């Protein structure tokens, strides 16, 4: 799962070029609306093409099994699994939809939906959501609305992946700390780091990369009461006093000797595994990391460093492409598939992601089967998801630049954030011109 998300991060860094390619590829179905008569398709037999980026980890095993079960239970629907790299989906789908050869259903990341919708690549799915019986209360707070663009729904939640605090209990014990005493706030967290330092351990290896420096920064930014962008997403705001406090907190880990400088990509989780550090802010996907020795580690909600609880999370959503000449029966059958997949998503925890549907995720059987997920489930009431705005990934990439520049000592936290915001604002203006704002 980590490899797939890393590929996704690389794709985001190329967002400007992808966005330019998209600009000339608006589908003829722009503004069209998908409709479903009921949650169970009863029309003639159809084959539904399903594009997804699940090519790593447990997903390539689980997805075909689920699809095979669905196909066996639905004699009038054949779902065809078409896995590919996330970057390939972004590159291929616009032209395919325009030619009427795109998928009938796909899975996209939360910060891609508005871009696809603005280009007319997706069906408005308000009526689909209604026919399937979904409301906002079926998913974590605010998640369904993240699939909404300009008053219309374009996505149905599938999964969420919050950040958490991973703890090497052996390192704590060897340093004389109670391995069962988990830090929950800034005082207890910094106290633990100080005691670890006194024992010769740099307690949190902090990096300046997307995985996981950017996600830690964003979590801290929200904890300090800030936000990434203004309400209309016309201006970047992550250089606010809250942003400076967040990035200073991370830089100070290095300056005060709690983290070594110049931690490499994935150096933080590798140090935790090797017993060189005690804490690591990382995503729920690491619960599937077989290198984390059983009974030697645990996970907890990220500590509340700022004035309020907050944590970064990404999401994935089901989307319905507006192919040229899209077959309504296929869209209806695809909606039945989406409903069935969400209802049968308990096993998705094995891939290192949390099912988005509350009734599945909150089932005691899921927690019993995957006890390591409990702290991540606890965080969802205050999780923050992707920003909804066309082309947003290019502006988001500047955040990582700022975090990296500050963490390697190239710039002060404030200067790094100010420079990144200036660049982000230019990109937001370009997005508004390109996609309409």
For 375-431, write each residue's pLDDT tens digit: 999 999 999 999 999 999 999 999 999 999 999 999 999 999 999 999 999 999 999
pLDDT score for 36: 72
What digits encode the pLDDT tens for the residues 186-236?
999 999 999 999 999 999 999 999 999 999 999 999 999 999 999 999 999
What does the alpha-carbon distance between residue 31 and residue 322 come to, in Å, rounded to a whole number? 9
- Least reliable range by pLDDT among 16-30, 69-83, 295-309, 390-404: 16-30
Rounded to an integer, the average pLDDT of 65-93 is 96
Write the CATH number of the domain with boundaries 162-313+391-435. Answer: 3.40.190.10
15: CB partners within 8 A, 6+ apart: 391, 393, 394, 397
The number of angstroms, rounded, from the C-alpha of 132 to the middle of its chain's C-alpha atoms is 24
Q: Is the pLDDT of residue 18 over 90?
A: no
Rounded to an integer, the average pLDDT of 287-298 is 91
pLDDT score for 434: 95
What does the alpha-carbon distance between residue 103 and residue 331 come to, in Å, rounded to a whole number? 10
Spatial contact of 2 and 211, defined as CB atoms under 8 Å apart: yes
pLDDT score for 100: 97
pLDDT score for 14: 33
Q: What are phi and psi of 99, to 5 degrees?
A: -85, 0
CA separation (Å) from 299 to 77, 267, 347? 41, 18, 20
pLDDT score for 39: 74
Q: Select 2-161+316-367's CATH number: 1.10.1040.10, 3.40.190.10, 3.40.109.10, 2.30.140.10.
A: 3.40.190.10
What does the alpha-carbon distance between residue 375 and residue 162 come to, in Å, rounded to a whole number? 10
As beta bridge partners, residue 281 has 165
Whole-prediction pTM value? 0.92
What does the alpha-carbon distance between residue 287 and residue 386 come to, in Å, rounded to a whole number? 22
pLDDT score for 34: 67
Domain residue ranges of the chain, discontinuous segments joined by + = 2-161+316-367, 162-313+391-435
Spatial contact of 197 and 258, defined as CB atoms under 8 Å apart: yes
Q: Is the pLDDT of residue 15 over 50?
A: no
pLDDT score for 37: 65
Spatial contact of 406 and 239, defined as CB atoms under 8 Å apart: no
pLDDT score for 148: 96
User: Is residue 1 classed exposed, middle or buried when 0-12, 13-18 and 19+ CB atoms within 10 A define those classes?
Assistant: buried
Rounded to an integer, the average pLDDT of 87-114 is 95
Rounded to an integer, the average pLDDT of 345-350 is 95
What is the number of other CB atoms lying within 10 angstroms of the CB of residue 44? 8
399: CB partners within 8 A, 6+ apart: 214, 217, 218, 228, 238, 420, 424
397: CB partners within 8 A, 6+ apart: 12, 13, 15
Rounded to an integer, the average pLDDT of 19-43 is 57
DSSP structure class, residue 373: G
pLDDT band per the 50, 70, 90 thresholds, residue 13: very low
Q: Alpha-carbon torsion 142, 147, 151, 154, what sign?
A: negative
Q: Is the pLDDT of residue 370 over 70?
A: yes
What does the alpha-carbon distance between residue 417 and residue 197 come to, in Å, rounded to a whole number? 29
| Average pLDDT over the chain, rounded to an integer | 92
Spatial contact of 383 and 311, defined as CB atoms under 8 Å apart: yes
pLDDT band per the 50, 70, 90 thresholds, residue 293: confident
Q: Is the pLDDT of residue 152 over 50?
A: yes
Identical fold for domains 2-161+316-367 and 162-313+391-435, yes or no, is yes
Q: Is the peptide bond before 212 cis (omega within 30 degrees of 0)?
A: yes
What does the alpha-carbon distance between residue 313 and residue 356 come to, in Å, rounded to a whole number? 12
pLDDT band per the 50, 70, 90 thresholds, residue 38: low
Rounded to an integer, the average pLDDT of 77-92 is 95
């Amino acid at each position: 799962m980590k490899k797939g998300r890393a590929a996704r991060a690389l794709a985001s860094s190329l967002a400007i070029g992808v966005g330019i390619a998209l600009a000339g590829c608006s589908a003829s179905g722009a503004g069209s609306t998908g409709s479903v008569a009921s949650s169970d398709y009863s029309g003639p037999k159809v084959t539904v093409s399903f594009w997804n980026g699940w090519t790593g980890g447990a997903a390539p095993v689980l997805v075909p099994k689920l699809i095979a079960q669905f196909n066996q239970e639905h004699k009038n629907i054949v779902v065809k699994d078409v896995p590919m790299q996330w970057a390939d989906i972004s590159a291929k789908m616009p032209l395919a939809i325009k030619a009427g050869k795109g998928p009938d259903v796909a899975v996209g990341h939360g910060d891609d939906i508005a871009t696809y919708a603005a280009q007319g690549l997706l069906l408005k799915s308000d009526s689909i959501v209604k026919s399937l019986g979904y409301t906002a209360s079926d998913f974590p707070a605010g998640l369904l609305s993240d699939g909404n663009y300009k008053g219309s729904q374009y996505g149905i939640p599938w999964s969420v992946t919050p950040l958490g605090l991973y703890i090497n209990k052996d390192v704590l014990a060897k340093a004389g700390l109670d391995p069962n005493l988990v830090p929950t706030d800034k005082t207890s967290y910094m106290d633990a780091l100080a005691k670890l330092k006194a024992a010769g351990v740099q307690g949190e290896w902090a990096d300046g990369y997307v995985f996981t420096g950017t996600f830690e920064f964003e979590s801290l930014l929200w904890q300090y009461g800030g936000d990434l962008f203004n309400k209309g997403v016309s201006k970047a705001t992550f250089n606010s006093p809250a942003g400076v406090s967040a990035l200073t907190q991370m830089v100070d880990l290095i300056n005060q000797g709690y983290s070594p400088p110049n931690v490499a990509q994935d150096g933080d989780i590798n140090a935790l595994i090797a017993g060189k550090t005690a804490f690591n802010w990382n995503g729920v996907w690491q619960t599937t990391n077989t290198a984390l020795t059983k009974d030697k580690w645990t996970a907890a909600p990220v500590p509340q460093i700022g004035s309020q609880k907050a944590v970064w999370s990404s999401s994935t959503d089901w989307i319905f492409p507006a192919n040229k000449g899209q077959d309504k029966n296929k869209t209806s059958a695809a909606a039945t598939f989406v409903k069935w997949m969400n209802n049968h998503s308990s096993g998705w925890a094995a891939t290192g992601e949390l099912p988005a549907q509350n009734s599945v995720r909150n089932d005691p059987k899921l927690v019993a089967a995957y006890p390591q997920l409990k702290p991540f489930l606890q965080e969802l009431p205050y999780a923050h998801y992707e920003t909804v705005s066309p082309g947003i990934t290019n502006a988001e990439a500047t955040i990582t630049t700022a975090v990296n520049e500050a963490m390697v000592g190239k710039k002060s936290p404030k200067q790094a954030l100010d420079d990144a915001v200036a660049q982000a604002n230019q990109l937001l203006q370009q997005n508004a011109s390109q996609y309409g704002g």
